Amino acid sequence: MSAMDLVYNLLVVLHLLGMAAVVGGWIAVRNGRTVIAPIVWGARAQLVTGLALVGIASAIKDDDHTVDTTKIAVKLVIALVVLVAAEIGTARGRRGQDTGNLLDVAGGAAVVNVLVAVLW
């Protein structure tokens, strides 16, 4: 395994842990409305690690690292929905305002992105 493969695979690990933070955080507070910190940090991590993975994959460009542009575009849009909902939700929570359904939007959209990642 080349050094770049190692970096790539470690980014996949961080990508999976970020997913665990968002989805696990959502499940943990499922009956509440508070967007807790792990959800926000996980949502940020998904964007950063996801974009880095795409960058490295397009640089390596062998049979193990292909980039499906349409799939990535869809994942990017959904990840932005997760992030915006999490950021607005946590900011409102800090101010003691109602967070509406932002928690469920963030958690639900993250699950949709897992489905896109695995089933597409």
Contact 77, 111 (CB under 8 A): no
The Cα–Cα gap between 39 and 99 comes to 14
Q: Which residue is nearest to ligand HEM (CB)?
A: 50
| CB closer to ligand HEM out of 1 and 118 | 118
Q: Dig out the tokens for 92 from the structure.
A: 């409102």
For residue 53, the minimal CB distance to ligand HEM (Å) is 4
The Cα–Cα gap between 66 and 29 comes to 36
Interface with ligand HEM (CB under 6 A):
12, 15, 19, 22, 46-47, 50-51, 53-54, 57, 72, 75-76, 79, 82, 110, 113-114, 117-118
